[in-house]
């Protein structure tokens, strides 16, 4: 892992919805080119945190810096430098693969020429050149998911946020998807991914485990397994979750 600079810096981030505290005093940094996993059960506050980092939600308090820009005052600059893929593979089902890429390329300010080049490149990366003119509705779930990832990468963002990107797809497609994630990270893009699949946590460079809105652990999967005397991440997670509830 090349640690040549922080791309995300969060200090004492807190988000409250009325009386409910979704995120409590989160502090962490993410390095350039890193695959950073955000782990937690459903409702642990993963999605809230990712939405704040993307500028979809305003934090209640705390300091945020994403891609070198201030999370309160420079949101527009942040938006140009990040890609986002939500839990639902949000593509337009009545449009073709090519059209989806073209629209988002246009929204991110790419020129027509750039869009053409990028479309070819992206479709080649995920082996979907033949399906370029298929309607999204006709694609199987795994392909939609890969394409949604490509669309999030259309403008070559510095950081790409993936909110539970592998929900509901089969293990082979998941494995396949992680290979694409690796490729992107090796090329220098930081990947910030949330998941509740513990086997996926093993693929991350570092993981941050969230329990009830609080960071319970943050380290490499190897260090965490050693520290908690566990064979895999699943055990680490269960130990942490039990510790909190008991």
Q: Which of 191, 95, 179 is nearest to 152 (CA)?
A: 191
Rounded to a whole number of angstroms, the minimum distance from the CB of residue 109 to other proteins is 6
Distances from the Cα of 231 to the Cαs of 129, 209, 222, in angstroms? Answer: 41, 17, 10
Closer to other proteins by CB, 31 or 92: give it: 92
Nearer to other proteins, 18 or 229 (CB): 18
Q: How far is the CB of 213 from other proteins (least distance, A)?
A: 18
C-alpha closest to that of 240 among 211, 206, 207: 211
82 contacts other proteins (rule: CB under 8 A): yes
Among 95-103, 166-174, 215-223, 237-245, the segment contacting other proteins (CB under 8 A):
95-103
Q: How far is the CB of 230 from other proteins (least distance, A)?
A: 35
Would you count residue 90 as binding other proteins (CB under 8 A)? yes
Residue 188 binds to other proteins (criterion: CB under 8 A) = no
Using CB under 8 A, which residues numbered 128 to 187 contact other proteins?
Answer: 152, 161
Figure out which of the listed residues 23, 48, 65, 86 binds other proteins, where binding follows CB under 8 A. 86
Is position 55 an interface residue for other proteins (rule: CB under 8 A)? yes
Beta strands in the chain (DSSP E): 6-17, 20-31, 35-40, 61-66, 69-70, 82-85, 159-163, 190-195, 206-211, 214-219
Instruction: Answer whether 30's CB lies under 8 Å from 8's CB.
Output: yes
The footprint of other proteins on residues 98-117 (CB under 8 A) is 99, 102-109, 111-112
CA pair distance 58, 119, nearest whole angstrom: 33
Residue 44 beta carbon to other proteins: minimum distance, rounded to whole angstroms: 20
- In this structure, the number of other CB atoms found within 10 A of the CB of residue 161 comes to 25
38 is a contact residue toward other proteins (CB under 8 A): no
- Closest distance of CB 179 from other proteins, Å: 23
CB of 67 to other proteins, least distance (A): 13
Residues in binding contact with other proteins, number by CB under 8 A = 34
**Residue 161 falls in which region: left (phi positive, over 0), alpha (psi -120 to 50) or beta:** beta
What's the closest the beta carbon of residue 225 comes to other proteins, in angstroms? 34
Q: How far is CA 206 from CA 6, 34, 215, in A?
A: 14, 8, 13
Question: Residue 165 gets which letter from DSSP?
Answer: T
**What's the Cα-to-Cα distance from 118 to each of 10, 69, 79, 102, rounded to whole Å?**
32, 26, 19, 9
Q: Does 35 bind other proteins (CB under 8 A)?
A: no
Cβ contact 174:166 at 8 Å: yes
229 binds other proteins (CB under 8 A): no
Q: Site residues (CB under 8 A) for other proteins? A: 54-58, 76, 79-80, 82, 84-95, 99, 102-109, 111-112, 152, 161
């Amino acid at each position: 892992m090349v640690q040549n600079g922080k791309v995300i810096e969060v200090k004492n981030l807190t988000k409250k919805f009325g009386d409910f505290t979704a995120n409590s005093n989160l502090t962490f940094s993410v390095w350039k080119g890193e695959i950073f996993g955000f782990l937690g059960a459903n409702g642990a506050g993963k999605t809230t945190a990712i939405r704040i980092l993307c500028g979809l939600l305003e934090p209640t308090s705390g300091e945020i810096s994403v891609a070198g820009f201030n999370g309160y005052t420079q949101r527009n600059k942040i938006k140009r430098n990040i890609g986002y893929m939500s839990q639902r593979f949000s593509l337009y089902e009545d449009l073709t693969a090519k059209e989806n890429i073209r629209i988002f390329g246009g929204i991110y300010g790419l020129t027509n020429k750039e869009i053409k080049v990028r479309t070819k490149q992206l479709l080649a990366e995920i082996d979907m050149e033949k399906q370029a003119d298929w309607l999204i509705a006709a694609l199987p779930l795994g392909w939609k998911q890969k394409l949604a990832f490509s669309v999030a990468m259309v403008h070559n963002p510095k950081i790409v946020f993936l909110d539970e990107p592998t929900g509901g797809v089969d293990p082979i497609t998941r494995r396949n998807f992680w290979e694409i994630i690796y490729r992107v990270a090796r090329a220098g893009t930081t990947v910030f991914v949330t998941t509740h699949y513990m086997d996926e946590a093993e693929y991350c460079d570092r993981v941050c485990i969230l329990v009830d809105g609080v960071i319970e652990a943050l380290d490499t999967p190897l260090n965490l397994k050693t520290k908690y005397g566990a064979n895999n991440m699943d055990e680490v997670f269960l130990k942490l979750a039990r510790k909190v509830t008991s």
